[in-house]
Amino acid sequence: MTLRLISHGTQVFIAAEYYLPLYFQSVKEASPLRSGVLLVPLIVSTAATGVMTGLTIHRTGQYRPMIWLGTALLTLGNGLFISFKATTSIGTVIGLEIVAGVGSGLLFEPPLIAIQQGVAQDDVGTATSTQSFVRSLALSLGVILGGIVFQQSMDLKQSQFRAAGLPAAIIEDLSGKNAGSNVLIVRTLPPAQELLVKEAFAWSIRNMFIMFTGFAACGMVASIFVRRKRLSKEHRETITGLKN
């Protein structure tokens, strides 16, 4: 259950980190450099919360409350991303980034501690490597699934593009498989068509976050089943290597 929690948490975190720059560049016409700068609130809030979470666990020995709060904030933050539109202000986006970032930061270390406390001392290495594998797998799946939803959503907008009089070549560039690499096309369109394309990008990215909010909600349910175990202050040496 804890591994499932880690999997869903990683999928959702990487969604914001990977796909928010697409929103900034396609809908807000930000350059790649500026889109990176606009992502800083998410990164900083995640890192700062991760440090504070580690210090809190060190002082209190409690890790389950961080997991519960983290999954709740992660679900809330990504749920609020669903409200993104072509007209959403940058200030609003930054505020929602911080909410999601705090949720992600709360989930950096506590799930690993929960796993390590739930296995025998000799199995900590195996549990830790399994956790790393699950996180890496979830990261890859999160990017892939998000891309699939985005591409399918952009394809659903093709009829609207044709009705708006967009040239066939531009419509092809805005098809699902090509849209992510042609965000600069937005700047070359007349105002009415520009708004239509921006709304299409925003709607497609919104659909991604609907899916990721569902993943985060599954993680929130899974967190309920994380067992409480007292953290030991005693150090026990473990002999590594092959056993006879």
pLDDT digits (tens), the chain, 244 positions: 555 555 555 567 778 888 999 999 999 999 989 999 999 999 999 999 989 998 888 888 788 888 889 889 989 999 999 999 999 999 999 999 999 999 988 888 888 787 777 777 767 777 778 777 877 887 888 888 889 999 999 999 999 999 988 999 999 999 888 888 888 888 888 988 999 999 999 999 999 999 999 888 888 888 888 777 766 566 566 555 555 5
Q: What is the DSSP string of 193-223?
A: HHHHHHHHHHHHHHHHHHHHHHHHHHHHHHH
The reported pLDDT for the residue numbered 112 is 78
Cα-Cα-Cα-Cα dihedral sign, residues 195, 199, 200, 202:
positive
At residue 57, what is the residue type?
Answer: I
The reported pLDDT for the residue numbered 203 is 95
Alpha-carbon radius of gyration of the chain = 21
The reported pLDDT for the residue numbered 233 is 61
| Secondary structure letter of residue 239 according to DSSP | -
State how far the Cα of 58 lies from the Cα of 153, in Å rounded to an integer: 45
Q: Domain 2-223 class?
A: mainly alpha
The reported pLDDT for the residue numbered 1 is 53
Is the CB of residue 70 less than 8 Å from the CB of residue 103? Answer: yes
Q: pLDDT tens digits for 29-70? A: 999 899 999 999 999 999 999 899 988 888 887 888 888 898
**Tokens linked to 42:** 């998410």
Q: Where are the alpha helices (DSSP H) in the chain?
A: 2-26, 32-38, 40-60, 64-81, 90-106, 110-117, 124-155, 158-163, 168-173, 176-179, 191-223
The reported pLDDT for the residue numbered 160 is 92
Residue 165: strand, helix, or coil: coil
Query: What pTM was computed for the model?
Result: 0.83
The reported pLDDT for the residue numbered 137 is 81
